[in-house]
Amino acid sequence: MQEWNGSVAFITGGGRGIGLGIARALGKRGARLALADLDEAALSRSSEELSAVTEAETVQLDVRDRAAFAAAADLVESKLGPVDLLFNNAEIAPKVPVREWNYEKWDVALGVNLNGVINGLQTFLPRMIERGGGGYVVNTASGAGLVPDSSVLYTTAKVVGLSESLHRELGEHGIDVSVLCPGPVDTGIIHNTSSAGGGIAVTRQAELTEEAGDFLKNGTSIDAVGETVLAGMEARSLWIHTDDFVRPWLKARYEALLESFPNSPYAADSPRRHA
Ligand SMILES: NC(=O)c1ccc[n+]([C@@H]2O[C@H](COP(=O)([O-])OP(=O)(O)OC[C@H]3O[C@@H](n4cnc5c(N)ncnc54)[C@H](O)[C@@H]3O)[C@@H](O)[C@H]2O)c1
């Protein structure tokens, strides 16, 4: 059983949504919390709520900003102690049809969703490794990192392969890794994306429909996701799912992928292997 009491968690996107759900689940188990987010108003709301439960610090941070990430780490570690739980969770949901792609949109999408994760790893992993006390990294990806999605910009930066390889790499340092692959979760990510893009329209107005909002509204609650994440970490599960929304597509993808191989001499049922 994981001891949460005494841990220090750094959660990007901790101002609301899934990050807040994870923070609540950790806070009620006694972990100390560092919440980082672009949105100061969201941060002050979550800080007010969580400070009543545990020690909680907030830091306004754009995850694209490497120097600010290092400064945020120094600040929270000086106040709360060494961070041993890292949640790379802050992201946006860009949705741009191919005819409207441009480099600015790619830079925003990959800057936040991919470089933001890399910056979190590059900031905290050397500290965790140097201290030698182990740790845990949870990267939020998506079901859209497991199967094709209608947004290429989103899927490209969903860090499933990164997390799986990192899991192998960090084992020798006693640092665990999970990748959270949620199905629909009841958050405002679609609307929040339009303000987090820094003036670059990475979500078309046409996507901000009630239908899109309803799809997420009917999804899992952020509190249920927080509990699922902690249960997954206690089970040391590499993949953490919030529902089985993508399971049929994943099964079909997996089968098609296996069938696409030539008759390899290494395949278990290959006549060449048994010759
Ligand atoms: N909501 C869903 O249905 C769903 C499904 C699958 C995966 N996810 C993933 O879950 C994660 C969290 O999404 P959510 O639904 O909680 O969204 P959310 O919008 O509720 O929360 C994301 C938070 O990240 C912050 N953020 C955005 N850009 C930032 C930046 N550059 N620097 C720092 N903070 C920034 C936002 O201000 C916001 O508070 C994302 O990785 C998302 O892709 C969500």
Does 3 fall in a domain?
no
Per-residue pLDDT reduced to its tens digit, 221-230: 999 999 999 9
Does 135 fall in a domain?
yes
- Whether 234 and 273 share a structural domain: no
The best mutation among 187, 200, 225 to test binding of ligand 1, ranked by most ligand atoms within 8 Å of the C-beta, falls on: 187
Looking at the structure of the chain, the number of domains it has is 2
Does residue 127 surpass a pLDDT of 90?
Answer: yes
Q: What is the mean pLDDT of the chain?
A: 92
254 is catalytic: no
- Whether 31 and 51 share a structural domain: yes
Confidence of residue 210 (pLDDT cuts 50, 70, 90): low
Q: Vertex 242, ends 237 and 247: CA angle to 5°?
A: 90
Range of the domain at 128: 8-243
Does residue 263 surpass a pLDDT of 70?
Answer: yes
- Whether 168 and 262 share a structural domain: no
CB 104: neighbour CB atoms within 10 A?
14
Residue 196 Cβ < 6 Å to ligand 1:
yes
Per-residue pLDDT reduced to its tens digit, 83-110: 999 999 999 999 899 999 999 999 999 9
Of all helices (H) and strands (E), which one includes residue 181?
Answer: strand 175-181
List the one residue out of 135, 132, 137 whose CA is nearest residue 165. Answer: 137
- Whether 151 and 256 share a structural domain: no
- Whether 100 and 191 share a structural domain: yes
pTM: 0.94
- Whether 71 and 167 share a structural domain: yes
54 alpha carbon – ligand 1 mean position (Å): 23
Q: Which two tokens stand for residue 180?
A: 């959270």
